[in-house]
Amino acid sequence: MTDQQTQTPEIRTREFVRVEREQGTHPAIRALHRKAREQRRGAGVKEYARIERGQEA
């Protein structure tokens, strides 16, 4: 038994990225994107209401 690594760091990184890509998008990332879309949608309504009330930025 030896203490030497059999793979170089570049190969380990490439394999890690490949596995991550094959597993698809993580649920937490999907939730962040969904949250961002919801916030953008709400921001537009707030802007229209502000303009309708005659308030300036």
% of the chain exceeding 70 in pLDDT: 82
pLDDT of residue 57 exceeding 80: no
| C-alpha–C-alpha distance, residues 48 and 27, integer Å | 32
% of the chain exceeding 90 in pLDDT: 11
pLDDT score of 51: 85
pLDDT of residue 1 exceeding 70: no
| C-alpha–C-alpha distance, residues 17 and 22, integer Å | 9
pLDDT of residue 23 exceeding 90: no
Q: Tokens for 14?
A: 């490439």
